[in-house]
A and B are shown apart, each in its own frame.
Chain A
Amino acid sequence: MGAGHAHVLYREAGSPVHRLPPEVKIAAMVVFTLAVVATPREAFWAFGGYALLVAAVAALARVGPGWLLGRSLIELPFVLFAFALPFLGAGERVGFLGLHLSVEGLYGAWNIIAKGTLGVLASLLLAATTTTRDLIVGLDRLHCPQILTQIATFMLRYLDVLIGEARRMRVARMSRGDDPRFLWQLRGLAAGIGALFLRAFERGERVYLAMLSRGYTGRMPVVWQGEGAATTGQWLVAATVPVLAATIAAAAVVLT
């Protein structure tokens, strides 16, 4: 996990959002998402407000809308579920283009799509502005139990080991005459999955022993901690977004 081990979603930039300490960003993102989820689904205007907040943060973080939309496709299965709801739902029905749709189901679908999309966008913004290393430092500073941050550290470190090992095994297969195309590539991977696991483990164990022999005690060294924990000022700056979101949510609850 040295320098340069940023994950695929990280967008290198020097924006004010990038410079905020990770624990502040994680807390802001979680509070924002909770506020969105707590909003009654009938308050359409509130979701517009949240979308504006997300757009403002994205602009500040210099993350383009195209990138955000492309990456939010991960949500697709839920959108499909949401589309099924108007047909499955119970209660009052309305006619639309000759279809009898359940009102309850339509509200349900809107609820899932709006809240799901906003949640995905918020976490994508966190991912785009925070390296995995910072993410773990942030979780550690938020007093996440050490055993969890330790597993997370190794998980992220070993993902590279696993991918590298899989690539080496593929090269080995190809150089022995295997010429897989398209889906048949999976066959070789499936047949060798046990071997892949063992090879990755043995490599991972060496990595771990090397870390131990360099003084690893289960917690990442102070060098990792970067500029140090967040100041009160940084907490206040980052609190603007979740506080605004919570205000919108409170107003929506009162008004509906």
Chain B
Amino acid sequence: METLALHISNGILDGPVAALFGAISLAALTFCVLRGRRDLDDRLAPMAGLVAAFIFAVQMINFPIFTAAVSGHLLGGALAAMLVGPWVGALCVAVVLIVQALVFGDGGVAMLGPNIFNLAVLGTAAAYLLIALLLRVLPRTPAGLTVTAFVSALVSVLVAAMGFVAQYQLGGTADLGGNLAGLAGTMAGSHLLIGIGEGLITATTVAAVAKVRPDLVYALRALKPAAPAPVPAVGGVR
């Protein structure tokens, strides 16, 4: 049951709550589309595609926790926020979720709203706020960047999991009575472990990219005066 927060299936939340979060997600995504268009240049377009593909591939690997029956997979919100920024990052995660819901039946179509809200909006937003904060506080060394990536990934997973618990409180189809605290506890516990895995993968990937091509890490661009990176001078992408 640990995959719950990651992909809510059809029928787990009731209609009004799903519709409410659908509306919120739609508004948030519209905003991201408007802001993301500004960000998406010739360097970011292939990066956004690769980040989405990477998240898609990584979400296919379910890693077991304790027993085979209990497993979870990664979210990727922090990785996306780190490499392509919060706006395009949220869109990348949303695209992954949409394609999974349409084609793989992973997460219900009717639950896309709550799913996108938890994973794409909440997860990426939490990650990016932390990244922005930590990058200012921590020393500007590779170690600082690695710690930032790890912590923001860990926290974003927990925030997304709690987003699901809150939605279940609002409109779960089965009344758990006083067991909601139990659900919150299980979700937090298991997602702490998923978060550590997510943090490790995010930190390794971001550290490797930052070492070789620091110009590709979106989160670092805001800090340094933009280094004249070799951008191919070709037509824009709109």
Residues of A at the B interface (CB closer than 8 Å) are 7, 9, 26, 29-30, 33-34, 36-38, 41, 71-72, 74-75, 77-78, 80-81, 84-85, 88-91, 104-105, 107-109, 111-112, 114-116, 118-124, 126-127, 130, 132, 135, 145-148, 150-159, 161-163, 190, 193-195, 197-198, 200-201, 204-205, 207-209, 212-213, 216-218
Contact = CB atoms under 8 A, between A and B. Distances in A.
Given A89-B174, A111-B11, A195-B208, A155 B102 contact: no
A77 B1 contact: yes
Interface of B: 1-4, 9-12, 15, 18, 33, 36-37, 40, 42, 45-50, 52-54, 56-57, 69, 71, 88, 91-92, 94-96, 98-99, 101-106, 108-110, 172-179, 182-183, 201, 204-205, 207-209, 212-213, 216, 232, 234-235, 237-238
B103 A212 contact: no
B37 A147 contact: yes
A104 B179 CA distance: 13
B4 A81 contact: yes
Given A33-B109, A111-B173, A123-B103, 14 more contacts: A37-B18, A90-B175, A105-B174, A121-B105, A124-B105, A130-B103, A150-B45, A152-B95, A154-B49, A156-B53, A157-B49, A157-B53, A200-B54, A212-B42
B4 A78 contact: yes
Chain B residues touching A, majority SS = helix
B202 to A, nearest CB: 10
B208 A158 contact: no
B99 A123 contact: no
A198 B109 CA distance: 33
Contacts of A217: 235, 237-238
B46 A84 contact: no
A119 B104 contact: no
Nearest to A153: B49
21 contacts: A33-B10, A34-B109, A36-B10, A71-B105, A81-B12, A88-B182, A89-B176, A90-B178, A111-B173, A116-B108, A120-B108, A123-B109, A151-B95, A155-B52, A155-B92, A157-B49, A158-B46, A197-B209, A217-B235, A218-B237, A218-B238
A204 B207 contact: no
Given A72-B105, A75-B105, A88-B179, A158 B205 contact: no
A155 B109 contact: no
Contact of B104 (A74, A107, A109, A130): A74
B41 to A, nearest CB: 12
* Smallest CB-CB A-B distances: 5 pairs: A154-B49, A194-B208, A108-B174, A90-B177, A115-B11
Contacts of B9: 75, 78, 112, 115-116, 119-120
